[in-house]
């Protein structure tokens, strides 16, 4: 975080979250200039935008045919990620200047600080620590159709409040998914000698409104794609982008079955966060998402295609605490556990000492056996 400013008497803090991505050849299986054949997302987006206008659709279809532009294209990894000038968008930009001639899955997202947050500091309530108050000047979203779905809940996932329990839901706001979601406790684990609670998003978070009515607001235009899919076109400049778990994990079976090679696996495709419950510090995490594009058969476009959700990219953003930070956290956790447990230790000692004291008291007050003379009444009858 940068440009940190405390506000509201120290109860809130404003900051920006810059993102910078650097290619690491030593940790990669290929190069940035490797060619990949995948869905031509700009073409699909344009077709989707004008599918209700027959004259414009016919014009676009003829333009694509004349330039040899199809629904699939060859692009380098770098172009797909960071952007390139698309020939179709370039031509349409002349007619409609609002159309950006450049496209990339992370276009304008590298080396930028366009995410402005206001967090609660936890000064008034420790459970509010790191909770998002505002994002880009908004206290709620405007993309979805219900107030509940537009809520900005929880932290940004980087850290959580201290003293986490197994029974609570941990809410997070994800800018990648353009929505808030939550995770629930799954298991106790240990990472580099640090005790952690593993939290994972349950199936209900991604379920269709028929399974989870709270998700009704994510169905745009009354069109629900099914469990496990989220249409984020409203927050991705209209591009028909569909987000899911990798290999359609947690999604209806039909989506994985419609694409060759999909093998959903909990171990490889589930998002998981390992948090030290005492401090709320994230020790290990893996955010796993899949970027898909919705392709459908449209009039005037003669390519032999069928309607499907086509996978474009699988993201696995992972973090693991380094050795030096782990050593410091182990020390904090050890001392913290001692402090936290002092009241219970004192109570335990108090109970033990109380039992000993009562035992001694009973022993000291036990009467000695009496003689026959002592048992005679003081007054005769």
CA-to-CA distance for 289 and 225, rounded, in angstroms? Answer: 17
Going by pLDDT thresholds of 50, 70 and 90, the confidence category of residue 2 is confident
The pLDDT > 90 percentage for the chain reads 52
Q: What are 127-130's contacts with CB under 8 Å, separation 24+?
A: 127/161, 128/161, 129/159, 129/160, 129/161, 129/162, 129/280, 130/155, 130/156, 130/158, 130/159, 130/160, 130/161, 130/280
Q: What is the average pLDDT across 172-186?
A: 95
Tokens 């020390």 appear where?
Answer: 331
pLDDT at 346 over 90: no
Q: What is the average pLDDT across 279-291?
A: 94
Residue 160's CB: how many other CB atoms inside 10 A?
26
Tokens 């182990």 appear where?
Answer: 330
Plot region of 316 (φ>0 → left; ψ -120 to 50 → alpha; else → beta): beta
Find all residues with CB under 8 Å of 302, minimum gap 6, and list them: 61
Going by pLDDT thresholds of 50, 70 and 90, the confidence category of residue 307 is confident
Cβ atoms 311, 229 nearer than 8 A: no
Tokens 């003829």 appear where?
Answer: 62
Please give the model's pTM, rounded to 2 decimal places.
0.82
Going by pLDDT thresholds of 50, 70 and 90, the confidence category of residue 378 is very low
253 phi/psi in degrees, rounded to 5? -60, -30
- The pLDDT assigned to 154 comes to 94
Q: Among residues 143, 235, 126, 174, which one has the least CA distance to residue 17? A: 174
Q: What is the average pLDDT across 8-29?
A: 87
158 phi/psi in degrees, rounded to 5? -80, -30
Strand duo 179-191 + 194-200: pairing: antiparallel
State pLDDT tens for residues 104-121. Answer: 888 888 777 767 899 999
Tokens 């808030």 appear where?
Answer: 180
pLDDT at 260 over 60: yes
3-state secondary structure 122-179: CCCCHHHCCCEEEECCECECCCCCCCCCCECCCECCCECCCCCCCCCCEEEEECCCCE
State pLDDT tens for residues 56-91. Answer: 888 888 888 888 888 899 999 999 999 999 999 999
Please count the helices (runs of H) and the strands (runs of E) in the chain. 8, 16
E strand or H helix that includes residue 272: strand 272-275
pLDDT at 278 over 50: yes
pLDDT at 349 over 50: no
Look over the chain and give the mean of its residue pLDDT values, rounded to a whole number.
Answer: 84
Strand, helix or coil at 36? strand
């Amino acid at each position: 975080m940068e440009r940190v400013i405390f506000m509201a008497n120290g109860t809130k803090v404003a900051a920006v979250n810059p993102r910078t991505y650097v290619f690491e050849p030593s940790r990669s299986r290929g190069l940035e200039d490797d060619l990949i054949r995948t869905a031509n997302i700009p073409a699909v987006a344009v077709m989707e935008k004008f599918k209700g206008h027959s004259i414009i659709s016919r014009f676009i279809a003829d333009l694509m045919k004349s330039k040899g532009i199809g629904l699939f294209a060859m692009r380098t990894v770098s172009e797909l990620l960071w952007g390139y000038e698309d020939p179709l968008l370039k031509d349409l930009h002349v007619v409609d200047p609002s159309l950006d001639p450049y496209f990339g899955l992370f276009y304008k997202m590298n080396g930028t600080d366009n995410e402005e947050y206001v967090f609660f500091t936890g000064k008034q309530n420790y459970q509010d620590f790191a909770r998002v108050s505002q994002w880009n000047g908004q206290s709620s979203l405007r993309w979805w159709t219900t107030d509940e779905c537009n809520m900005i809940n929880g932290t940004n996932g980087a850290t959580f409040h201290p003293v986490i329990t197994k029974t609570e839901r941990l809410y997070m706001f994800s800018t990648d998914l353009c929505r808030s979601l939550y995770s629930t406790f799954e298991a106790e684990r240990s990472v580099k000698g640090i005790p952690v609670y593993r939290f994972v998003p349950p199936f209900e978070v991604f379920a269709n409104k028929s399974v989870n009515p709270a998700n009704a607001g994510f169905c745009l235009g009354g069109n629900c794609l099914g469990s496990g899919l989220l249409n984020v076109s409203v927050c991705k400049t209209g591009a028909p982008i569909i987000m899911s778990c990798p290999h359609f994990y947690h999604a209806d079976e039909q989506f994985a079955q419609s694409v060759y090679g999909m093998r959903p696996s909990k171990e490889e495709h589930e998002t998981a966060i390992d948090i030290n419950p005492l401090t709320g510090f994230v020790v290990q995490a893996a955010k796993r998402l899949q970027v898909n594009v919705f392709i459908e058969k449209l009039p005037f476009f003669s390519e032999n295609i069928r309607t499907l959700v086509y996978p474009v990219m699988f993201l696995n953003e992972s973090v693991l605490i380094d050795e030096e930070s782990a050593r410091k956290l182990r020390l904090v956790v050890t001392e913290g556990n001692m402090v936290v447990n002092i009241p219970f230790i004192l109570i335990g000692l108090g109970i033990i000492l109380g039992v000993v004291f009562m035992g001694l008291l009973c022993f000291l007050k036990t009467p000695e056996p009496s003689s026959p003379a002592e048992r005679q009444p003081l007054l005769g009858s």
